[in-house]
């Protein structure tokens, strides 16, 4: 098999994970971009923690020449919001590069922002390239939901539940508002979307649409997770007192034209020491069905999931191709 030539756009944690994984597979990393700062000017191999240079210097994304790049795909790992990523998408797609994004709104652009989705669709079609987002949600939240319904001949309702421990790293704890006062939590995580709000509603929305239902209404509600005892937040190095915000609970209701409803109950906060992250789909149908995914905290599974989608995206038709259109995610153990 021809080795895909990779571009990395956003050379942070996941961008660097992808560099190391591409290197392990012998896939050439041919260019790398980041916004201005200390990463620009460094060799991407060293920056990614390899013990050698790859001969590719991280370029300033705002002033680079994209037309000169000869590559098969660009992996974008900058942020979750379409509005933040859109400039990079335009640069890469109009230069004729397939784009595989890690941004969570990009899993389902037409639902997150129909206006920006239409632009992405036009750039991708004009250049005859594909736009897709993947990451850990691909298998754990999206394909697990689609496959859960596979044995059913009738469906009344879909239920998605998950628990993610965001207490281990400071940056994650802050995203979920762990340790904020009630007043600050209400203002910045409930009344405003904050850093995570309105992202997780895309999960039941996308799965319901992928199963063929016409989604007519989606409502996301957010509230603080509270415990009746102090909970230790390792990322903050302190206990969160009983009754204080210890995470964000996201509750989603999806209504369809066919009368089938979907519900999500998503906990993003502190967990007990021995509790593993999980994602679960249950179909209330004929017959009932459940798929349960356990996930180790700190796994690099989001970067590996992207790497495993590289060939699917390169081979997909032009335009936005959400992962539900690409078939179930597959391993790449033999792709060396
Ligand atoms: N799809 C999924 O299932 C999934 C799962 C987990 C996480 N994510 C998302 O993946 C994203 C990346 O996470 P991460 O941990 O790798 O973050 P990170 O370490 O902060 O890396 C992001 C990198 O992108 C750079 N950057 C940000 N905005 C940019 C722009 N407009 N143009 C060019 N470069 C830009 C940052 O530059 P600086 O050096 O200036 O910071 C940084 O180097 C996050 O949004 C995260 O929520 C998605």
Q: Reply yes or no on whether the pLDDT at 244 is more than 90.
A: yes
Task: Kindly report, residue by residue over 140-158, the tens digit of the pLDDT.
Answer: 999 999 999 999 999 999 9
Domain-embedded: residue 58: yes
CATH number of the domain within which 58 lies: 3.40.50.720
For residue 140 and ligand 1, the question of a CB distance below 6 A is answered with no
Task: Give the orientation angle of helix 301-315 with respect to helix 13-25, to 10 degrees.
Answer: 60
| CA 9/CA 49 separation, integer angstroms | 17
Ligand 1 centroid to Cα of residue 208, in Å, is 28
User: Do residues 38 and 77 share a domain?
Assistant: yes
Task: Kindly report, residue by residue over 3-61, the tens digit of the pLDDT.
Answer: 999 999 999 999 999 999 999 999 999 999 999 999 999 999 999 999 999 999 999 99
Share of the chain above pLDDT 70, in %: 99
User: Do residues 281 and 313 share a domain?
Assistant: no
What confidence category does residue 298 fall into, taking pLDDT thresholds of 50, 70 and 90? low
Domain span at 201:
152-287
Q: What is the mean pLDDT of residues 282-286?
A: 98
Cβ neighbours for 51, distance < 8 A, ≥ 6 positions apart = none
Question: Which residue would you say has higher pLDDT here, 202 or 1?
Answer: 202
Q: Reply yes or no on whether the pLDDT at 297 is more than 60.
A: no
What confidence category does residue 273 fall into, taking pLDDT thresholds of 50, 70 and 90? confident
Helices (H), the chain: 13-25, 44-47, 82-94, 109-112, 114-127, 136-137, 144-148, 170-175, 182-185, 202-210, 301-315
Ligand 1 centroid to Cα of residue 175, in Å, is 14
For residue 91 and ligand 1, the question of a CB distance below 6 A is answered with no
User: Do residues 224 and 97 share a domain?
Assistant: no
Cβ neighbours for 313, distance < 8 A, ≥ 6 positions apart = 73, 98, 99, 100, 130, 132, 321, 326
Domain-embedded: residue 317: yes
User: Do residues 212 and 245 share a domain?
Assistant: yes
| CA 303/CA 159 separation, integer angstroms | 27
User: Do residues 22 and 126 share a domain?
Assistant: yes
| CA 152/CA 286 separation, integer angstroms | 5
User: Do residues 160 and 280 share a domain?
Assistant: yes
Instruction: Please check whether residue 103 is in contact with residue 132, taking contact to mean a CB–CB distance below 8 angstroms.
Output: no
Atom of ligand 1 nearest to the CA of 39: 39
Domain-embedded: residue 171: yes
For residue 78 and ligand 1, the question of a CB distance below 6 A is answered with yes
For residue 13 and ligand 1, the question of a CB distance below 6 A is answered with yes
Task: Kindly report, residue by residue over 145-196, the tens digit of the pLDDT.
Answer: 999 999 999 999 999 999 999 999 999 999 999 999 999 999 999 999 999 9
Predicted confidence at residue 202, as pLDDT, reads: 98
* Count of structural domains, the chain: 2
Domain-embedded: residue 333: no
- Residue to probe by mutation, ligand 1, list 77, 83, 299, 300, most atoms within 8 Å of CB: 77
Atom of ligand 1 nearest to the CA of 107: 1
Predicted confidence at residue 299, as pLDDT, reads: 61
User: Do residues 37 and 163 share a domain?
Assistant: no
Predicted confidence at residue 300, as pLDDT, reads: 76
Domain-embedded: residue 249: yes
> The pTM is what?
0.97
Domain-embedded: residue 210: yes
CATH number of the domain within which 281 lies: 3.30.360
User: Do residues 205 and 237 share a domain?
Assistant: yes
Q: What is the DSSP string of 229-270?
A: S-EEETTTTEEEPTTS--EEEEEEEEEETTS-EEEEEEEEE-
For residue 304 and ligand 1, the question of a CB distance below 6 A is answered with no
Cβ neighbours for 273, distance < 8 A, ≥ 6 positions apart = none
User: Do residues 230 and 255 share a domain?
Assistant: yes
Task: Kindly report, residue by residue over 94-120, the tens digit of the pLDDT.
Answer: 999 999 999 999 999 999 999 999 999
User: Do residues 119 and 31 share a domain?
Assistant: yes
Domain-embedded: residue 331: no
For residue 164 and ligand 1, the question of a CB distance below 6 A is answered with no
Domain-embedded: residue 160: yes
Six-digit token pair at 16? 């660097």
Cβ neighbours for 103, distance < 8 A, ≥ 6 positions apart = 76, 78, 79, 80, 81, 82, 84, 85, 133
User: Do residues 263 and 308 share a domain?
Assistant: no
User: Do residues 168 and 265 share a domain?
Assistant: yes
């Amino acid at each position: 098999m021809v080795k895909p030539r990779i571009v990395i756009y956003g050379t942070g944690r996941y961008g660097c994970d992808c560099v190391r994984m591409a290197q392990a597979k012998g896939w050439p990393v041919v260019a790398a971009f980041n916004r201005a700062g200390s990463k620009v000017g460094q060799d991407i191999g060293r920056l990614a923690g390899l013990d050698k240079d790859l001969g590719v210097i991280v370029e300033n994304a705002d002033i680079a020449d994209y037309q000169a790049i000869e590559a098969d795909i660009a992996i974008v790992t900058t942020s979750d919001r379409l509005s933040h990523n859109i400039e990079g998408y335009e640069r890469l797609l109009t230069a004729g590069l397939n784009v595989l994004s890690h941004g969570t709104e990009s899993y389902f652009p037409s639902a997150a922002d129909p206006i920006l989705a239409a632009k992405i669709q036009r750039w991708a079609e004009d250049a005859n390239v594909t736009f897709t987002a993947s990451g850990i949600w691909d298998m754990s939240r999206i394909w697990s939901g689609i496959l859960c319904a596979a044995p059913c001949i009738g469906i009344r309702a879909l239920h998605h539940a998950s628990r993610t421990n965001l207490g281990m790293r400071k940056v994650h704890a802050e995203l979920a508002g762990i340790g904020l006062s009630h007043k600050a939590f209400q203002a910045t995580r409930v009344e405003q979307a904050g850093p995570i709000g309105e992202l997780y509603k895309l999960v039941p929305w996308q799965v319901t649409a992928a199963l063929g239902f016409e989604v007519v209404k989606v409502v996301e509600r957010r509230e603080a997770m509270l415990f009746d005892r102090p909970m230790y937040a390792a990322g903050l190095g302190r206990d969160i007192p009983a009754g204080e915000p210890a995470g964000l609970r996201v509750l989603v209701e999806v209504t369809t034209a066919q009368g089938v409803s979907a519900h999500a109950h998503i906990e993003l906060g502190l967990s007990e020491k021995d509790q593993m992250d999980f994602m679960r789909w249950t179909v209330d149908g004929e017959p009932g069905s459940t798929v349960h995914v356990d996930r180790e905290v700190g796994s690099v599974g989001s970067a590996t999931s992207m790497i495993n989608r590289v060939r699917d995206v390169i081979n997909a038709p032009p335009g936005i191709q959400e992962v539900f259109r690409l078939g179930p995610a597959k391993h790449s153990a033999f792709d060396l």
